[in-house]
Amino acid sequence: MNKLRAAITGVGGYVPDYILTNKELETMVDTNDEWITSRTGIKERRILKGENQGVSVMGIAAVKEMLAKTKTDPKEIDLIIFATVTPDMTFPATANIVATTIGATNAFSFDMGAACSGFIYALATGASYIQAGIYKKVIVIGGDKMSSIIDYTDRTTCIIFGDGAGCVLLEPTTEEVGVIDWLLRSDGSGESYLHMKAGGSRMPATRETVDNRQHFVYQEGSAVFKFAVTNMADISAQVAERNHLTADTIQWLVPHQANKRIIDATANRVGISEDKVMMNIERYGNTTAGTIPLLLWDYEKQLKKGDNLLLAAFGGGFTWGAVYVKWAYNS
Ligand code: UT7
């Protein structure tokens, strides 16, 4: 009998309406469109505005779209994993909020925090349950409301991040499609370069932590850049090599959208030309766990059954990895 695999059978996405342009950022911090465009590739990003609007709002919208497109009854969903570092609350899990709102009354659900690699960590986890024959319908969501943890007086971070969420549905198949292979890594020594100091159990919120602006993303950009270029490129090459994938047999590179220069370096390393690299960083910026599912959402109509996709990410932790997916359907 053929091996049971987890096929991606549907995609959903959501980005908020509000567009924060480079021009508007020029009025907020000492920066300019030319610097942002040439250093990052970003032109604009989406921001979720309004009171009481958590990341769940975007996750729910993405999942509802995907359920409608795939004509899936939410009661059939077994598991929902929400990859995010900006949950609605520390607890309960945002995935629980999504499950109840969409009517997934037979599911269990949990959040997964692996920063920019969150979606590929969650994808591998969801796929494992399917491959083991335990569950038949798993929703994997990746999304972040980065605007909730960004200091809009810090020009080194506020120009990069945006808000958005995407999701996929995983179902079992015995065809030679779906999530084929992955390599995931983490290295806690990356903490010093990219973190949010306060608000966790080590440094709970106090008046001082707020006054000292410690509830925002802290990043040593150029150090993270170097680790990202090396590790994302290396792990992508490893997954490609061990699956005998070459530049000719990979149809799409699906890289985390942190910086166009990191994406270009990864593509070069695997020998993939620009026309085969999914890219939407210019419109959404870095949505952390949202970038990869939002790429699949944006490019879904161009994907064909049997296409080889190489997903790759690097982020806070450090966390990084690559996943080989063979696309399972024609839109
Ligand atoms: O997704 C999670 C993982 N994160 C990443 O992968 C991000 C990786 N890092 C990066 O993408 C880049 O390091 C940044 C985009 C964050 C920064 O680009 P960079 O080319 O590494 O710039 P830099 O930090 O080395 O700064 C170069 C100069 C500095 O000025 P001096 O010291 O040379 O005079 C900065 O002060 O650019 C200055 N600068 C800015 N200038 C205009 C920094 N931010 C800005 C800005 N506008 N927004």
Q: Would you say the CB of residue 228 lies under 6 angstroms from ligand 1? A: yes
Q: How far apart (Å, rounded) are the C-alpha atoms in residues 176 and 66?
A: 23
Ramachandran category for residue 258: left, alpha or beta (phi over 0 → left; psi -120 to 50 → alpha)? alpha
Which stretches of 174-249 are assigned E, i.e. beta strand?
178-186, 194-195, 218-219
Predicted local confidence at residue 11, as pLDDT: 98
Nearest CA to ligand 1 atom 47: 31
Nearest CA to ligand 1 atom 38: 156
- Catalytic site includes residue 231: no
Mutate to test the pocket of ligand 1, among 25, 43, 150, 225 (most ligand atoms within 8 A of CB): 225
Query: Hey, where are the domains in the chain?
Result: 5-178, 180-326
- Catalytic site includes residue 215: no
Q: How far is the CA of 285 from the centre of ligand 1 (A)?
A: 14
Q: How far apart (Å, rounded) are the C-alpha atoms in residues 255 and 262?
A: 9
Predicted local confidence at residue 184, as pLDDT: 98
Predicted local confidence at residue 161, as pLDDT: 98
Beta strands at 163-173 and 178-186: parallel, antiparallel or unpaired: unpaired
Q: What is the pLDDT of residues 150-172, one digit of tens each?
A: 999 999 999 999 999 999 999 99
Predicted local confidence at residue 2, as pLDDT: 82
Q: Would you say the CB of residue 286 lies under 6 angstroms from ligand 1? A: yes
Question: Could you say which DSSP state residue 27 is in?
Answer: T
- Catalytic site includes residue 116: yes
Nearest CA to ligand 1 atom 19: 222
- When the candidates are 3.40.50.670, 3.20.20.70, 3.40.47.10, 2.60.120.10, the CATH number that belongs to 5-178 is 3.40.47.10
Per the CATH hierarchy, to which homologous superfamily does domain 180-326 belong? Thiolase/Chalcone synthase (3.40.47.10)
Report the atom number in ligand 1 closest to the C-alpha of 258. Answer: 1
Q: How far is the CA of 156 from the centre of ligand 1 (A)?
A: 6
Predicted local confidence at residue 1, as pLDDT: 65
Catalytic residue among 96, 231, 259, 286: 286
**Within this chain, domains 5-178 and 180-326 share the same CATH topology:** yes
Q: How far is the CA of 273 from the centre of ligand 1 (A)?
A: 26
Q: Would you say the CB of residue 157 lies under 6 angstroms from ligand 1? A: no
Q: How far is CA 307 from CA 98, 134, 292, in A?
A: 31, 27, 16
Place of tokens 């692996």: 114
Segments in the chain below pLDDT 50: none
Q: How far is the CA of 212 from the centre of ligand 1 (A)?
A: 22
Question: Could you say which DSSP state residue 154 is in?
Answer: -
